[in-house]
A and B are shown apart, each in its own frame.
Chain A
Amino acid sequence: MIADWPILSLTVWLPIIGGFMVLASGDREANATKWTALTIAVLTFIVSLPLWFAFDSATAQMQFVERVPWVPAFNIEYYMGIDGISMPLIILTTFITPLVVIAGWEVIKFRPSQYMAAFLIMEGVMVGVFSSLDAMLFYVYWEAMLIPMFLIIGVWGGENRVYATIKFFLYTFFGSVFMLVALIYMYFQSGTFDILGFHTLKLGLTEQILIFIAFLMAFAVKVPMWPVHTWLPDAHVEAPTGGSVILAAIMLKIGGYGFLRFSLPITPDASHTLDWLIIGISLIAVVYIGFVALIQQDMKKLIAYSSIAHMGFVTLGFFIVFIISQNNAGSGAALGVQGGMVQMVSHGFISAALFLCVGVLYDRLHSRQINDYGGVVNTMPIFAAFMVFFAMANAGLPGTSGFVGEFMVILASFRADFWYAFLAATTLIIGAAYTLWMVKRVIFGDVTNEGVATLKDMNNREFIVLGTLAAAVLLLGLWPAPLVEVMDASVNNLLQHISVSKL
């Protein structure tokens, strides 16, 4: 059986070991190095495909489980497995990474081997985060992720990259160490670092609230939620295109995933008690950050703020479930969580595509300022079509993946409270406003300056990358059912679990 093979380990370690190989090969044969990196990335994607095809979506049990003792003295295990919640995110990771490698092909001139290696190692580590079922293993991957990203932003970033990357590192490090203490605390309550064991661990309300806050500090920074989001615009603006893509498409999802894997099931009562807080800051993210996005002059910054607003939807969907179950509205609860999940995957595609679009422009004119562009459609018609399409998706146009997740979450919010739904739905207006206004100023109108007049349309490499993403956005928008089905059992199991109080 294919399910018995160590596919998860392969998906984690193939890119990491491959990354070190690329690193060792150096920059003398830059082209060969790039091809090696691409081969490894594609190979990893292929290796990860059985996770989707051999996945049994009828059960909420962990699948593809691998379990070996790691540090026996502390009961730490190399324990990995996936369910319907983590699997789509792993596929997303392995899908995006080859695109990032292609996107950096000619653009990265300085030490391309280190650049490619950083992304490959990053990929393995991120898959590890999604598949860990041992809290310490999770934490090791979670923190290890910082190292390559710190270097990616710092070495290949823009002018203000040092400030941005140190801010990024310290913010996320600050958030996560408190989670570490919470995990250690639970280890002494349960005698194990098994995450599923934590799920069934009995905890008092005060303990739960403290643990919840510790988790919140870690995940809220990662998502990022208002008011700890300020590292994100800086990091995005300064990061190279590939770095922005990985940050937006995958790293932010890790925060959302953390809520589903840790906060909700481990501290259901605290989550219930404090749901107003999360819902509140999620709505602030959706509305207020939306307005902040409106006034941005820098395209990357605008997309960064838009990411924060969209991730607000995700956390809203996750925590609205408590109010829905209070109202006894049955399946509405599942809709909220599933909507959040779909939103995460969809945002992975769309934000990646938008950052890549900005990258395409930046590579040509070396500016991210909206004012430096205008009338791009006249010189780059194919590119303009893509950019408009992704902008529409970002604004939540029906038929694109951006619509599905937002719609599900708004629908779920209606079952909770009209005003929540009302505020959440304003995003359809604000989101459309900031994205389309940017598109109008950048793409349409007359050619405003010489730079734009000399632009060349996309080359094949860029076309492949954006075309693949466009296909994914359309596919998920028109036919989201497979994605919803694979996570159905796991989401219902999660809701079942959190509806039972631990007190």
Chain B
Amino acid sequence: MQFDSTQLIPVLPEISLLTLACVVLVVDLFIREEQRIISYGISQVGLILTLLITILVSQPTTQILFDGSYIRDPMSDLLKVGILLITFLAFLYAKDYLRDRGLFKGEFYTLGLFAVLGMMIMTSANSFLTIYLGLELLALCLYALVAFNRNSPQGAEAAMKYFVLGALASGMLLYGISMIYGTTGTLRFDELAQVVDKGDMNQLVMIFGVVFLVIGLAFKLGAVPFHMWVPDVYHGAPTAVTLFIGSAPKIAAFALAMRLLVDGLADLHGGWEGWQGMLIILAVLSMAIGNLIAIAQTNIKRMLAYSTISHVGFILLGILAGTKEGYTAAMFYTLVYALMSAGGFGVVIALSRKGFEAENLDDFKGLNQRNPWFAGMMLLLMFSMAGVPPTVGFFAKLFVLDAVVSVDLTWLALVGVFFSIIGAFYYIRVIKIMYFDQPTDESPLTVGMDTQVVLSLNGLAMLFLGLFPAGLLSLCSNAIGN
């Protein structure tokens, strides 16, 4: 293999992030407890820097590097920008929360940044090995983050569950990969696609391989019936970590699905014999179970966990359509969802303060009287999650439904809207609690200026993107290419 230093240019974002993570790791050793803000500052500046580098190295063509194990294409560029931006938001919202609870440690940022590195590697993977490498890097960091509060038995329990189930999922994924490798003889997605196209493989082994692959994927996405870890992890982890887990990794999971199923196995898409059928089952179950069980929750973190599950169902709807429009819609949905989720947990964090966790729905009582502005932002976020226009959540759903109807799966669109109605109930219940109930807790909110500004932008983005969805949509459309 010829090595040429220009080959490193497309990988610059990863390199810069790795450097950044190492710098934070080292610097953090030498600063005193009250200077911890430096680690935070370096991380945030570094994320922005990486974001800029990602934009700089982006171009409309596709580059495959390092013996075909790494790919840089418009999709990876956009998804990386999304991941970095959302992580920036997550770190920002988390800062005050961590400080109030004595969790303001450099490890949070080191682990978080390594997780982001894992996500970026997943987004840019062009072979099974690379994607697995990225996935494990991400997963190991997240396991540790869930247990970040050592004194919380709940956190430890959640981390344990997450670890065991995550390891099982990785095992499934690896098993599937090994079967596919065994019968096709390649680990690269582009070569795999050619082999599948020629039909040069053992069908039975291939089908088993795909089944295990989809199961592993469904675990990582948190789709029903592989969703059991989601509510426990969301609930058990410190809210700041839940915020992180609930937002950026969804984008990476979407990339995982796109790389595995679309880049590698697009020809096995068709009908009930292919992965479309499996995804239909996962999507319908996720929308049904997610929305129905969310109604029964009194803990807002658990409620949002089940809401995630239902949103994953919708994202799967877009992917299973198997068309360019479908992938575009799913991507639009994923990015919008990550933004909504970050904002939603951001409000939850804003309501918490030293010695008080806003976890239950009742903690939102009368928020409109305590702080009308945050109530307004949460209102926008909730309506957006419910998919009510003019918020962007509506367009996300609309584009997915469009894609599903275009491939003659109108019944699936009907199922989708039916469960959205059920879903609307628990979102508007949050609004009901904020606006119609009397506050039980009159203490004013203490929220830092930076969080206030960014949270407002985050909420208003729901409205702005809802009024002007064309820009983001064409970005996604260009990223998917042909």
- Where the two chains meet, the residues of A that have a C-beta atom closer than 8 Å to any C-beta of B are 69-74, 111, 114, 136, 139-141, 143-144, 146-147, 150-151, 154-155, 161-162, 165-166, 169-170, 173-174, 177-178, 180-181, 184-185, 187-188
Are A166 and B388 touching (Cβ within 8 A)? no
The 9 closest A-B pairs by CB, nearest first: A177-B417, A140-B389, A154-B436, A143-B389, A71-B470, A184-B405, A144-B390, A174-B421, A181-B413
B414 adjacent to A155 (CB under 8 Å): no
Contacts of B477 in A (CB 8 A): 73
B residues within 8 Å of A by Cβ?
A: 328, 368, 372, 379, 383, 388-390, 394-395, 398-399, 401-402, 405-406, 410, 413-414, 417-418, 420-421, 424-425, 428-429, 431-432, 435-436, 469-470, 473-474, 477
Whether A184 touches B413, Cβ cut-off 8 Å, given contacts A144-B389, A147-B383, A154-B432, is: yes
Given contacts A71-B473, A114-B372, A169-B428, contact A155 B436 (CB under 8 A): yes
Contacts of B420 in A (CB 8 A): 177
Known: A143-B388, A180-B401, A184-B398. 6 other contacts (CB 8 A): A73-B470, A140-B389, A169-B428, A170-B428, A181-B405, A184-B402
Q: Which A residues are in CB contact (< 8 Å) with B372?
A: 111, 114
Residues of chain B lying within 8 A (CB to CB) of residue A136:
398
Q: Are B436 and A181 interface neighbours, CB within 8 A?
A: no
**B405 with A185: CB separation less than 8 A:** yes
Q: Is the CB of A144 within 8 A of B432?
A: no
Closest to B474 in A: A73
Contact A74 B388 (CB under 8 A): no
**How distant is A209 from chain B, measured CB to nearest CB, in Å?**
15
Tell me which residues across on chain A come within 8 A of B401, comparing CB atoms.
180-181, 184
Q: For B424, what are the chain A residues with a Cβ–Cβ distance below 8 Å?
A: 169-170, 173
Query: Which residue of chain A has the shortest Cβ distance to B408 in the bound complex?
Result: A188
- SS class, residues of chain A in contact with chain B: helix
Cβ 8 A contact of A140, one of B394, B405, B435 = B394
CA distance A69 to B471 in the complex (A): 12
15 contacts between A and B (CB under 8 A): A69-B470, A71-B395, A71-B470, A74-B399, A74-B402, A139-B389, A143-B394, A155-B436, A166-B429, A170-B425, A170-B428, A177-B418, A181-B401, A184-B401, A184-B413
By beta carbon, the residue of chain B nearest A125 is B390
CB of B470 within 8 A of CB of A72, answer yes
Give CA–CA (A114, B376) in the complex, Å: 11
* Whole-angstrom distance between the Cβ of A152 and the nearest chain B Cβ: 11
- Let me know if A154 and B435 touch, CB within 8 A: yes
Chain B residues, Cβ within 8 Å of A144 = 388-390
Closest to B386 in A: A173
Bound state CA distance, A141 and B394, in angstroms?
Answer: 12
Q: Which residues of A contact B368 (CB under 8 A)?
A: 111, 155
| Docked pose: A187 CA to B401 CA in angstroms | 12
Report the separation of the CA atoms of residues A166 and B295 in the bound assembly, to the nearest whole angstrom: 14
Q: A360 CB to closest chain B CB, in angstroms?
A: 26
The CA of A292 and the CA of B442, in the complex, are separated in Å by 45
**From residue A346, how far is it (CB to closest CB) to chain B in Å?**
31
Bound complex: CA of A180 vs CA of B388, how far in Å?
Answer: 12
Known contacts A184-B402, A184-B413; is-contact A162 B421 (Cβ 8 Å): no
| A72 proximity list for chain B (CB < 8 A) | 470, 474
Q: Is the CB of A166 within 8 A of B398?
A: no
Enumerate chain B residues within 8 angstroms of A169, measured Cβ to Cβ.
424, 428
- How many Å lie between the Cα of A199 and that of B436 in the bound state? 43
Whether B473 and A150, one on each chain, are in contact in the complex, defined by CB atoms closer than 8 angstroms, is: no
- Shortest CB-to-CB span from A215 to chain B, Å, is 14
Partner of B432, one of A70, A162, A187: A162
| Minimum C-beta distance from B110 to chain A (A) | 41
Contact between B402 and A166 (Cβ–Cβ < 8 Å)? Answer: no
B432 contacts which chain A residues (CB < 8 A)?
154, 162, 165-166
Interface pair A180/B417, CB less than 8 Å apart: yes
In contact, A151 and B435 (Cβ under 8 angstroms): yes
Least distance between A58 CB and chain B CB atoms (Å): 36
| Alpha-carbon distance between A134 and B388 when the two chains are bound, in angstroms | 18
Residue of A whose beta carbon sits closest to that of B471: A71
| Chain A residues with CB under 8 A of B429 | 166
- B389 proximity list for chain A (CB < 8 A): 139-141, 143-144
Q: A151 vs B421: C-alpha distance in the bound complex, in angstroms? A: 18
Q: Is the CB of B390 within 8 A of A140?
A: yes
Q: How far is the CB of A281 from chain B (nearest CB, A)?
A: 23
Identify the interface centre among B368, B388, B473: most chain A CB within 10 Å of its CB. Answer: B388
Which residues of chain B come closer than 8 Å to A143, judged between CB atoms?
388-389, 394
Contacts of A184 in B (CB 8 A): 398, 401-402, 405, 413
**Chain A residues with Cβ under 8 A from B421's Cβ?**
170, 173-174, 177
Q: Which residue of chain B lies nearest to A139 when distances are taken between CB atoms in the complex?
A: B389
A73-B389 Cα distance, complex, nearest whole Å:
18
Closest to B407 in A: A188
Report the Cα distance A74→B474, complex, angstroms.
11
Complex: A487 Cα to B410 Cα, angstroms:
37
Instruction: Name the one of B383, B417, B436 contacting A178, with C-beta atoms under 8 angstroms.
Output: B417
Cα separation A500 to B160 with both chains bound (whole Å): 68
Q: What is the CB-to-nearest-CB distance from B376 to chain A, in angstroms, rounded to a whole number?
A: 8
* Closest residue on chain B to residue A143 by CB atoms: B389
Q: How far is the CB of A143 from chain B (nearest CB, A)?
A: 5
Report Cα–Cα, A154/B432, bound state, in Å. 7
CA distance A74 to B431 in the complex (A): 31
A147 contacts B388, C-beta separation under 8 Å: yes
Q: How far is the CB of B105 from chain A (nearest CB, A)?
A: 40
Contact of B406 among A69, A177, A188 (CB under 8 A): A188
Residues in A with CB closer than 8 Å to B413 are 181, 184
CA distance A143 to B391 in the complex (A): 10
Residue of B whose beta carbon sits closest to that of A178: B417
B402 pairs with A181, CB closer than 8 A: no
A173 to chain B, nearest CB (A): 5
Chain A residue contacts of B473, Cβ below 8 A:
71, 73
Q: A143-B388, A146-B388, A162-B436 are in contact. Are A181 and B470 (CB under 8 A)?
A: no
B421, closest chain A residue (CB): A174
For the complex, what is the distance from the CA of A169 to the CA of B435, rounded to whole Å? 15
A141, A170, A180: the one contacting B398 at CB < 8 Å is A180
Report the Cα distance A174→B395, complex, angstroms: 18
Which chain A residues lie closer than 8 Å to B474 at the CB level? 72-73
Q: How far is the CA of A73 from the CA of B428 in the complex (A)?
A: 31
User: In the complex the two chains form, what is the Cα distance from A170 to B413 in whole Å?
Assistant: 19
- When C-beta atoms are compared, the residue in chain A nearest to B477 turns out to be A73
Cβ–Cβ < 8 Å partners of A161 in chain B: 436
Q: For residue A177, which residues in chain B have a CB less than 8 angstroms away from its CB?
A: 417-418, 420-421
Bound complex: CA A165 to CA B432 (Å): 9
- A386 → B minimal CB distance (Å): 33
Chain B: CB-nearest residue to A210: B410
Report the separation of the CA atoms of residues A180 and B397 in the bound assembly, to the nearest whole angstrom.
11
Q: How far is the CA of A73 from the CA of B331 in the complex (A)?
A: 15
Q: Which residues of A contact B402 (CB under 8 A)?
A: 74, 184, 187-188
Complex: A496 Cα to B418 Cα, angstroms? 36
Given the complex of chains A and B, what is the CA–CA distance between A147 and B389 in angstroms?
9
* Min CB–CB distance B197 → chain A (angstroms): 28
Q: Can you name the residue of chain A whose Cβ is closest to the Cβ of B413? A: A181
In the bound complex, residues from chain B placing their C-beta under 8 Å from that of A151 are 431, 435
Which residues on the B side are within 8 Å of A111 (C-beta)? 368, 372
**A143, A161, A170 pick with most chain B CB within 10 angstroms:** A143
CB distance from A114 to the nearest CB of B (A): 7
